[in-house]
Amino acid sequence: MRRTDTQGHGPVRYGPPFPDDALPVLPELAAALAAAATRPDARPTGGDPALLDAAGGYWARRGLPAEPDQMVAAPGAPALLHALTAAIGGDVLVPRPCASWWAPQVRALGGSVFHVGTPADCGGVPDPYALLETVRRVRAEGGDPRLLVLSVADDPTATVAPPELLHETVEAAAGEGLHLVSDETWRDTLHRPQETVLLSPAEMLPERVTVVTDLRGALLPPGWPAALARFPANTFGDALRARVLDVLTALGARIAEPVAVAAGYALGEPGPVTQRLTAAVRLHARVATSAHAVVVAAGCLALPPRSGRHLYVDLGPLRTAFGAHGVGDAQELEEYLTARLGMPAPGGHRFGDDLAALRVRLATGALLGDTPEERAQSLMSPEPLELPHVQRALTLMGSIFDDLRDDAQ
């Protein structure tokens, strides 16, 4: 079976930026961080009791209660996935496409990554039948699949997997003896939370699922790395947590004291934090919906965004127009659109998609304004889509894609 090795286009260190909210730092968060800036002591590897207690409350409110000895904190989800991969060993299965930082953690350890196709109506969770076939083929060729990484609220597709699909995939993975890592970084960014059912695999199969969440997805600014892992409450989970702590200790992967204090404050979800999160999600949802309408009107293909601050666009219908501009693969598409749009437009190859496919992830943060003042105005406005700087950004995007559509026709 073909392993999805790098294609030689765009090294990892030039990979796509995290799709942050592009908004000014919440003053209360800044105050919490500043209050701890003079503390000289380092937090212990895995997080101190105060941070883990706050994390336990955060997860309990989401139906995933956890004791402090079930959790680990680290400076970012990539460090946690790196440690989990090292601790579990074997080959790793991921959906196609998937978050850009998943595969590099495995490859950095010399492991093999196998991408599994997803259903047509969502990303983040492999099709159960494709998963079973991939496991069979990998084992037939001498591989050792042990870990499946998935995401119910997905980067890059911005979709939310339906519970029925998730249940079938989780059952298939369990039947094959796989451990699951559920990346739930974007679970708190649902665009229509009253209309969207989001279930964690840990609710379905608690004994075989480790949950990982990067707090930069909803609660912290992008430059303040902090993430949490929640392990199964059984003997296997205890041993896995111990091995993960060993790896994090060897890496020196500890959260900086000021960031840990700010993270603990955010995890408590006081009024200022929840109000900001609600306003930011509402803003990005409206902008994402408008951006989706723009690209679909130009003839592109994109699933409606349901979570996060991004959308994933297939520009294959415009291939002839791009060919006239010398664009024939995802890396060339990335370079072309980044220059034309004036914003990052990472190609699908960054997310495990085929290099030949003309797909990109577009982040909505770049459409909120060029200055902190404009972005703050976008957040505070009851009608952000009517602001001149937001209109300009969407109009520019629309004109570029409309020109390409006309060229293709």
pLDDT of 340 strictly over 50: yes
pLDDT of 2 strictly over 60: no
pLDDT score for 28: 98
List the structure tokens of 110: 């010399």
Classified as helix, coil or strand, 210 is strand
pLDDT score for 40: 80
Confidence of residue 75 (pLDDT cuts 50, 70, 90): very high
CA distances from residue 309 to 207, 296, 372 in whole angstroms, order as listed: 31, 18, 18
pLDDT of 289 strictly over 90: yes
pLDDT score for 10: 62
Mean pLDDT calculated for residue range 256-284: 97
Nearest residue to 268 (alpha-carbon basis) of 76, 56, 62: 56
Reported pTM:
0.94
Nearest residue to 118 (alpha-carbon basis) of 127, 109, 110: 127
List the structure tokens of 220: 């912290």
Which residue is listed with tokens 């003997």?
Answer: 235
pLDDT score for 9: 54
Confidence of residue 123 (pLDDT cuts 50, 70, 90): very high
* Nearest-angstrom CA–CA distance, 247 and 84: 8
Mean pLDDT calculated for residue range 313-319: 97
pLDDT score for 407: 87
pLDDT of 12 strictly over 90: no
* Nearest-angstrom CA–CA distance, 223 and 33: 12
Dump pLDDT digits (tens) for 370-383. Answer: 999 999 999 999 99
Question: How many CB atoms lie under 10 A from the CB of residue 357?
Answer: 17
Which residues have CB under 8 Å from 170's CB, separation 6+? 180, 201, 204, 205, 209
List the structure tokens of 34: 């500043």
Question: How many CB atoms lie under 10 A from the CB of residue 333?
Answer: 26
**Mean pLDDT of all residues in the chain?**
95
